[in-house]
Amino acid sequence: MKTYRRKRQQYLFASVLGVIGVVNLLFFLIMYRPIRSEYVLLQDSIQKARSDIQTRRQKIDRLQRLNAQLETSAQDRQRLITMHFIPKQTGWSQIVSELDAMVRRAGVKNSRKDYNTAETPQFGLYSVKIKLPVSGPYPNVVNFVKEVEKAETFFIIDSIDVRGGSSASVQDVSMNINLEAFFYQ
């Protein structure tokens, strides 16, 4: 009877272990599918994160190149301004002397110059409108216009009004030229 009881306890213990094993197996099977799908989702999100990282790296590289171009652009802008525009402090004397030199080189006459300065800067530049009447032989007046065009200072010719001269020589002409120059500060 002792043996029978012992066998019975062993069967009972084995059946409890079997039930626990079956419950564990069922629990494993029940939890396997959601965990497996979560694992697949995590792998997908990791792949997306890697592709996002690659895209962001490319974007960062592109932005760094653009930044380098913008830095050189600012330097180019500053060089353009200092090369072709006039500092505001010395602007008046520089414009007057430059225009007088162009008048002399072209061989035309100039009696006066009228200036009008803009009060507020536009794009960091102050506009200076200049009315400049000149007279002389037609080829000399044309040479004056060419001098203005090839001047190192940036002049914009707004308008030109040419009239025949009233002097004895038919080739003499009078010209009113409206220019615009720029000062920087």
Amino acid at 10: Q
Question: Whole-angstrom Cα distance, residue 147 to residue 100?
Answer: 11
User: Which of the four pLDDT bands, split at 50, 70 and 90, describes residue 43?
Assistant: very high
pLDDT for res 45: 92
pLDDT for res 167: 55
pLDDT for res 102: 86
For the record, the structure tokens of 159 come out as: 């308008």
Does domain 86-184 sit in CATH 3.30.70.60? yes
pLDDT for res 48: 94
**Packing angle of the helix pair 91-106, 138-149 (nearest 10 deg):** 140
Mean per-residue pLDDT of the chain:
82
For the record, the structure tokens of 13 come out as: 């213990």
Question: Whole-angstrom Cα distance, residue 176 to residue 174?
Answer: 7
Boundaries of every domain in the chain: 1-84, 86-184
pLDDT for res 177: 87
What one-character DSSP code corresponds to residue 1? -
> pLDDT tens digits, residue range 126-169?
778 888 888 888 888 888 888 888 887 778 888 888 877 655 55
